[in-house]
């Protein structure tokens, strides 16, 4: 859910404004990036119905990042630093213990040429930091409003590791410039990344995109998300029978002033989407609300959305069945149960065999339509005098073995006269 949310918001924004939705795989870290992750991400997006207009992989752009790094070296915007991860960790701990913010002290800038040469002779490879310019960085965030952050409150960010791996703060700016990105919509965890990135855009002589940072998800009571909630995979939700449109309907409005409402198509979410309606307060995610929303979405879905899945289950006369039962479903899988109800074999439940015998004698000839149920029950009333529950309940039980369900006027033509007659007489059909 956490990863799907920015994808949904970016897709909706791009579609509403006639823009381009870019799928970018940040896969420069060879140890953490695997092909199965790429496949899983793209599979999840397709399942959600999010198509992309352009696809890029940062691993194919390493030479480009190298070119831009050299340009920043020449302009004096980056500098080499040699501290190990352990040394930097000790520095941060010492600063915190002394009551100071853990901001990098720029010790690398005080190294002499001889000291740098000696470090490299000892096998130390530099990582490259971007030198933040002093002063307050300002930008107008679509969600947060006017932002102002003193650059001195932040450490000079590492752009490239010792092993040559370029990092997000750097690569995303290069990509945004090269791909003509106009809007960056991302979570609050990236809010402070905007400071160095804005300075990077300026250092590279490029105009900065518009930023919108949405609040992160929290639990139903505002608690930090547990793994069960925050890391809930789309695969798990899919196995639970949650519809992709239920997820999209929730994520499109979660954290905004607009009510979460079921939608039968992604296109229905586009028109009312407005980033300015999103607030800065954390968005409360409750899986129970998603479970309640799911059947409401199912009840609206046109047959075309489910046709392929129903065909995979071998359901006959699937469109008529879907239109008959969708309003009573809690999960899509229940369609298979109703397919067995109408197609059998099924033994009906007979409350009063003498009553159902007389009802069987009144069954009209086929073909049957939605009007057949009313005509037949009127004939049964005339033959037996039964009305209301005394009429409808035993007929439903005999024909479906269920206490309740979809309207019988829609089910009866699907059951057909032969099966209906057999069930009314207590036979399995």
Per-residue pLDDT reduced to its tens digit, 174-215:
999 999 999 999 999 999 999 999 999 999 999 999 999 999
**305 Cβ neighbours under 8 A, 6+ residues apart:** 245, 264, 265
Mean pLDDT of 149-164: 97
pLDDT attached to residue 47:
95
What value does the mean pLDDT of the chain take? 94
pLDDT at site 230: 47
All domains of the chain in start order, with CATH: 1-52+215-301 (3.40.50.620), 53-214 (3.40.50.620), 303-343 (no CATH), 353-424 (1.10.10.350)
pLDDT at residue 265 above 50? Answer: yes
| Cβ atoms 254, 283 nearer than 8 A | yes
pLDDT, residue 33, reads 84
**Residues comprising the chain, all counted:** 429
| CB of 144 closer than 8 Å to CB of 104 | no
Structure tokens at 284: 């409360």
Residue 42 confidence (pLDDT) above 50:
yes
Q: Helix (H) and strand (E) counts for the chain?
A: 20, 11
Handedness of CA 89, 95, 101, 104 (dihedral sign): negative
Q: Is the pLDDT of residue 225 over 80?
A: no
pLDDT at 232 over 70: no
The average pLDDT across 303-310 equals 94
DSSP 215: P
Q: 0.85 exceeded by the pTM?
A: yes
- 318: tokens are 């699937």
Q: What is the pLDDT of residue 16?
A: 97
Q: For the chain, how far is it from start to end, CA to CA, in angstroms?
A: 44
pLDDT on residue 246: 96
Q: What are phi and psi of 202, to 5 degrees?
A: -65, -45
Let me know: does 19 contact 270? Beta carbons within 8 Å. no
In a 10 Å sphere around its CB, with 0-12 CB exposed, 13-18 middle and 19+ buried, how is residue 97 labelled?
A: exposed
């Amino acid at each position: 859910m956490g990863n799907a949310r920015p994808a949904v918001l970016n897709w909706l924004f791009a579609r509403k404004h006639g823009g381009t939705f870019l799928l970018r795989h940040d896969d420069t870290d060879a140890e953490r990036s695997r092909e199965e992750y790429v496949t899983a991400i793209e599979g999840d997006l397709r399942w959600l119905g999010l198509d992309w207009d352009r696809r890029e992989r940062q691993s194919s752009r390493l030479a480009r990042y190298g070119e831009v790094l050299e340009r920043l070296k020449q302009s004096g915007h980056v500098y080499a630093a040699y501290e190990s991860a352990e040394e930097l960790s000790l520095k941060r701990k010492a600063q915190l213990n002394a009551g100071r913010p853990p901001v990098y002290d720029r010790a690398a800038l005080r190294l002499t040429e001889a000291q740098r040469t000696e470090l490299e002779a000892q096998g130390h490879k530099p990582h490259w930091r971007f030198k933040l310019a002093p002063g307050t960085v300002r930008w107008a965030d679509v969600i947060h409003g006017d932002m102002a952050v003193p650059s001195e409150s932040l450490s000079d960010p590492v752009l490239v590791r010792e092993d040559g791996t370029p990092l997000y703060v750097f690569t995303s700016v290069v990509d945004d410039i090269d791909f003509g990105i106009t809007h960056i919509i991302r979570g609050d965890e990236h809010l402070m990344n905007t400071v160095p990135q804005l300075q990077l855009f300026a250092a590279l002589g490029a105009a900065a995109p518009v930023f919108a940072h949405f609040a992160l998800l929290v639990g139903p009571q505002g608690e930090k998300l547990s793994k069960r909630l925050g890391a809930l995979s789309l695969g798990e939700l899919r196995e639970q029978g949650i519809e992709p449109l239920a997820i999209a309907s929730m994520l499109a409005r979660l954290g905004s002033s607009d009510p979460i409402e079921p939608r039968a198509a992604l296109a229905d979410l586009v028109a009312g989407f407005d980033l300015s309606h999103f607030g800065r307060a954390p968005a409360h995610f409750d899986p129970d609300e998603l479970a309640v929303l799911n059947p409401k979405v199912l009840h609206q879905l046109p047959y075309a959305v489910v046709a392929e899945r129903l065909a995979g289950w071998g359901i006959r006369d699937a469109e008529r069945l879907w239109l008959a039962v969708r309003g009573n479903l809690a999960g899509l899988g229940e369609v298979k149960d109703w397919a067995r109800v109408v197609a059998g074999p099924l033994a009906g439940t007979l409350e009063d065999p003498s009553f159902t015998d007389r009802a069987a004698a009144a069954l009209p000839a086929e073909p049957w339509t939605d009007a057949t149920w009313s005509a037949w029950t009127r004939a049964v009333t005339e033959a037996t005098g039964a009305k209301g529950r005394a009429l409808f309940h035993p007929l439903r039980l005999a024909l479906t073995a269920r206490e309740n369900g979809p309207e019988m006027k829609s089910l009866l033509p699907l059951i057909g006269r032969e099966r209906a007659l057999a069930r009314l007489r207590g036979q399995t059909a």
